[in-house]
Amino acid sequence: MSPELKPYDGPVKNVVVYNTYADGRRLHFDVFIPTPEEDASRVPREMDAEAERHAKEFLRLIGEEPARVTVSMCARCHIDSTGRYVGRLWRLPGVDATIWPLEGCPRPSP
């Protein structure tokens, strides 16, 4: 795994959550992107493409080849707070986005 991927220990943020699967659903994780919106349906569509880029970057950082592993689903789900996931999120380098690893993904060490 890349040393660029670090556990998130930043401030609590309001985020739009993208439920994401890759590699035939072998990998499951959520992409969190900060938003001022309170309703997921009001988040600009441009953010959907941004979420997919972040998903592919996460795959690269955990050693999966993004060109070989397809993101089969990166669906806008709901608005949440990172405060509910303390100690369970990865910080993506150079962008304001975090990942909540689920099935098949490495977890941050507390």
Q: Does residue 55 fall inside a structural domain?
A: yes
Q: Does residue 108 fall inside a structural domain?
A: no
Per the listing, tokens 């988040």 go with 43
Q: Does residue 110 fall inside a structural domain?
A: no
Q: Does residue 61 fall inside a structural domain?
A: yes
Q: Which domain holds residue 51?
A: 6-101
pTM: 0.90
- C-beta separation of 37 from 48 below 8 A: no
Q: What is the CATH number of the domain that holds 75?
A: 3.10.510
Q: Does residue 1 fall inside a structural domain?
A: no
Residue 80 CA neighbour count, 13 Å, CB half? 18
How do residues 54-110 score in pLDDT, each as one tens digit? 999 999 999 887 666 666 667 788 899 999 999 999 999 999 999 999 999 999 976
Q: Does residue 37 fall inside a structural domain?
A: yes
Q: How many domains does the chain have?
A: 1
